[in-house]
Structure 1
Amino acid sequence: MELIFLKSSLYFVRHAHSAYTPEELERPLSVQGMEDAKFVTECLKQEKIDFIVSSPYKRAIQTVEGISNYCGKKIEIYNDLRERTLSLEPVSDFKHAITKLWEDNHFSWEGGESNIVAQRRGVAITLHLLEKYEGKNIVIGSHGNLMVLIMNYFDKKYDIQFWNNLAMPDIYKLDFEAKELVEVTRIWRDSTTISSR
């Protein structure tokens, strides 16, 4: 007898542009970010959204607040959806710091998370959401680094080059059967489908 799995869809939303502050948790969206967040809402209005979850970071929450209000669904906060901790102190060259982490998945800057550590955290919460909301459509307010690390776990083609080409904001729909990734669709300004089979 063939097993039938319900299809679950995770809509990973990379947050819109934020106004820099050293305090990660409360960093808000910039004026441009708030405008772009409205377009995120318009994109997601076309989808049938069942649940909305987010990183605890303000910029991630603000990016999905519009669709939350439109659907009348409360945003559930999951601490493990927070962005990867890069280092204890601010880095002088962000791109170099990220590149070094992708060159050696076990390397970490002082006080920061390696790719392996951050990926393990992100994948664990992703699998939890797939189990908890099997067969549902879930919007996930997240961050570029963590999002790509999660995608990389399911398909290695999602790497630093993919991260480099992300927009801010950006939306990727990941379709799963049980916990197997079967298709990835970008539903931002230029919609593309990437098969994972």
Structure 2
Amino acid sequence: MKTYYFVRHCQANGQSEDAYLTPQGIAQSHALAQFFSGIHLNKIISSPYKRAIQTIEPLAHAKQLEVQIDQRLSERVLSSKPMDDWYEKLKLSFTDLHMTCEGGESSQEAMNRIVEALYEQIKLGKNHTLFVTHGNLMSLLLKHADPTIGFKEWEKLSNPDVYVLKYFKPDHIEIERIWHK
């Protein structure tokens, strides 16, 4: 069995790539470092977004681990243009995984990215790797492991949030939420 941790970033001041953590988000990042203090980690891989990197910096410093940046952990772009009905489109994207909006990425495409990042670590024999990502992408990874996960589970995610994924073999993956706000 191999163990992987998936962290949704702490509270941020927006959704852009350069959105930074709020004062509450900074406090959450330190609480996250404390939460992981007794958990062995070998590697940290993060989305390149500022809020993701800021989320994990206190933990990386405490564990003396370098943060590896991976574009595949970037948040999913639902559309390249603002949409008044984005919430409804996002909800639909959990049942129609191939639906795309203008300039956006389908749920399936986004899921493939994060699953590829995970399986790369599995194939390399890496264990106890922590991934820092975003809510929509994390929920799509969870959906890959458990197809019953959908929009309602995405809505319940917190900032931050932490899931552990235990990989036994390709057809047996267990997920568990370990962060309790």
- TM-score, structure 1 normalization: 0.85
Counterpart-to-counterpart distance in 2, 1:146 and 1:48: 24
Counterpart-to-counterpart distance in 1, 2:170 and 2:54: 28
The 5 A counterparts of 1:41-190 are 41-134=33-126, 136-189=127-180
Does residue 8 of structure 1 match 2:9? no
Aligned-pair CA distance for 1:157:
2.2
Counterpart-to-counterpart distance in 1, 2:33 and 2:88: 33
Counterpart-to-counterpart distance in 1, 2:64 and 2:12: 25
Name the SS for the 1:103 alignment partner: coil
Q: List structure 1 segments (4+ residues) > 6 angstroms apart after TM superposition.
A: none
Quote the residue 2:11 is aligned against.
17
Counterpart-to-counterpart distance in 1, 2:144 and 2:175: 14
Quote the residue 2:21 is aligned against.
29
Aligned-pair CA distance for 1:185:
2.4
Name the SS for the 1:45 alignment partner: coil
Q: Which runs of 5+ in 2 are unaligned?
A: none
Counterpart-to-counterpart distance in 1, 2:67 and 2:46: 7
Structure 1 or 2, whichever has the larger Rg, is 1
Counterpart-to-counterpart distance in 2, 1:15 and 1:151: 16
RMSD: 1.6
- TM-score, structure 2 normalization: 0.92
Aligned-pair CA distance for 1:95:
2.3
Q: Which runs of 5+ in 1 are unaligned?
A: 1-6, 191-197
Say whether the 8 Å CA contact 2:145–2:173 is kept in structure 1.
no
Per-residue CA deviations over 1:100-147 (Å, capped at 9, x if unaligned) read 21232111110001111111122111111222243x201111111111
Say whether the 8 Å CA contact 1:106–1:114 is kept in structure 2.
yes
Task: Indicate the percent of aligned positions where both proteins have the same amino acid.
Answer: 30
Counterpart-to-counterpart distance in 2, 1:69 and 1:180: 35
Letter in 2 for 1:114: S
Say whether the 8 Å CA contact 2:5–2:131 is kept in structure 1.
yes
Choose 149-158 or 86-95, whichever is displaced more.
86-95
Report the CA distance shift for 1:104/1:60 in structure 2 as closer, same or farther (over 3 A): same
Counterpart-to-counterpart distance in 2, 1:108 and 1:170: 27
